[in-house]
Amino acid sequence: MDLNRRHLLGASVAGAAGALAMPRDALAASLGRDITQYGVRPGSADDQTKSLQRAIDEAARAQVPLVLPPGIYRTGPLSLQNGTQLIGVRGATKLVYTGGPSLLLGEGCGHITLSGLTLDGGSIPLPPRRGLIHLLGGRAVEITDCEITNSGGNGIWIEQVAGDISGNIFSGIAATALVSFDALGLIVSRNTIIGTSDNGIEILRTAIGDDGTLVADNRIENIKAGPGGSGQYGNAINAFRASNVIVRGNRIRNCDYSAVRGNSASNIQITGNSVSEVREVALYAEFAFEGAVIANNTVDGAALGVSVCNFNEGGRIAVVQGNIIRNLLPKRPAGTAPDDDGGIGIYVEADASVTGNVIENAPAFGIVAGWGKYLRDVSITGNVIRNAFAGIGVSVAAGAGAALVNNNMIAETPRGAVVGLDHAHVVTADLTADGAQHYAQVMVGSNAVRR
């Protein structure tokens, strides 16, 4: 055989390329440590917490992955170390929880990888503010391709974490699938969340500030407001005090309250989401926020399609554009404020542009601008509204600010195409009709009206 330098180099390159082309699980198995060498036995009926903990500690110390072969591992709480990498076989490596505050706990450690694991909480109740996975502080965290099921509390609870939580499946979660506090740079993407009793995903901060979490391409269904309340629970995605959060491309269905709720979340972007069967406001920007973009979403079934509100709390500046909103419900769920109406396509209050939306089948209004005196500088242009009790309602109460209503297509609105409101009550005739009453702050332009 001619083993010349060219052949050796070629073999070396081919071997390296082959290793790089291997799937992550297979590559980890070739480089890491098999957990059975620490006395851990897949499928054993015994509790294996001590052996698993020793394996985690030694693998992290050696900075190598710890590979868990297929099987069931019964275990109590396990502490993760800096650099811990637990690699299982998707759908075949299962950690069954036997009790304690959390199954996997990491404090102040980064470069953690959890991949290919099934974590079964056995519906054992967890303490408040705990998750089956519980991480406090850490950068470069990756939780991917795992299944988290039957948690007696939250699925994942993280605080001050940067990293990537993607491609996971959450089911049978007693509280919220994922809770993040004070993120340092987080991606939450391509997860499937089916069946929670509080919320789907919560992006929270202890005080109003920049967060920047990206929540993209998740599938979220069957979210219940188990503890009750007037909107704190029952939401697919909830951003609270978290600025610069991006929520895009998610498929959301069957929520007791909202699909996306931004509360005091400035510069939130809610774009390209597909929403159906929600029972309160589908897409929400509320309370003390400045800046919201709600664009190119579809909403089929909600009490209110889009709400941008609470100018009284400082909520202002929004673009609501290019949404399709239809088949609205006449009432919100029990427990909301009694003066919170349903059957409205889009509601805005201050410093907002509403343009290019299509709204159909609204039992009350297609679009509403303002609540009493809380109206300022709203432009409503280029929208299509069909089959609503009234097309566009604009506050004409004492102290209300300016609104422009122009170039909209409005059809099949028996109460009027554009009407004046005093809070929830219609107080004018159709403002597009010949000889209609004129209000200086309401500029009604050339709208196409089909009665």
Which pLDDT score, from 0 to 100, does residue 15 have? Answer: 40
Confidence of residue 373 (pLDDT cuts 50, 70, 90): very high
Tokens of 190: 């391509």
CATH code assigned to 24-189 = 2.160.20.10
Q: Give per-residue pLDDT as tens, 273-316.
A: 999 999 999 999 999 999 999 999 999 999 999 999 999 999 99
Confidence of residue 36 (pLDDT cuts 50, 70, 90): confident
Confidence of residue 31 (pLDDT cuts 50, 70, 90): low
Supply the DSSP string of 73-140, one letter for each residue. Answer: EEE--EE--TT-EEE--TTTEEEEE-SSS-SEEEES--S-EEES-EEE-TTPBPPTT-EEEEEEEEEE
pLDDT at 5 over 60: no
List 192's β-bridge partners, or say none.
Answer: 169, 219
Q: Give per-residue pLDDT as tens, 93-110.
A: 999 999 999 999 999 999
pTM for the whole structure: 0.92
Q: Give per-residue pLDDT as tens, 232-288.
A: 999 999 999 999 999 999 999 999 999 999 999 999 999 999 999 999 999 999 999
pLDDT at 12 over 90: no
Which pLDDT score, from 0 to 100, does residue 14 have? Answer: 38
Residue with tokens 């407001």: 225
**Domain ranges for the chain:** 24-189
Which pLDDT score, from 0 to 100, does residue 451 have? Answer: 81
Mean pLDDT over the full length of the chain: 93
pLDDT at 332 over 90: no
Q: Smallest Cα–Cα separation from 399: which of 417, 423, 368, 364?
A: 423
Which pLDDT score, from 0 to 100, does residue 32 have? Answer: 72
pLDDT at 160 over 60: yes
Q: Smallest Cα–Cα separation from 128: which of 196, 176, 161?
A: 176
Summarize the confidence of residues 26-52 as an average pLDDT: 82
Confidence of residue 342 (pLDDT cuts 50, 70, 90): very high
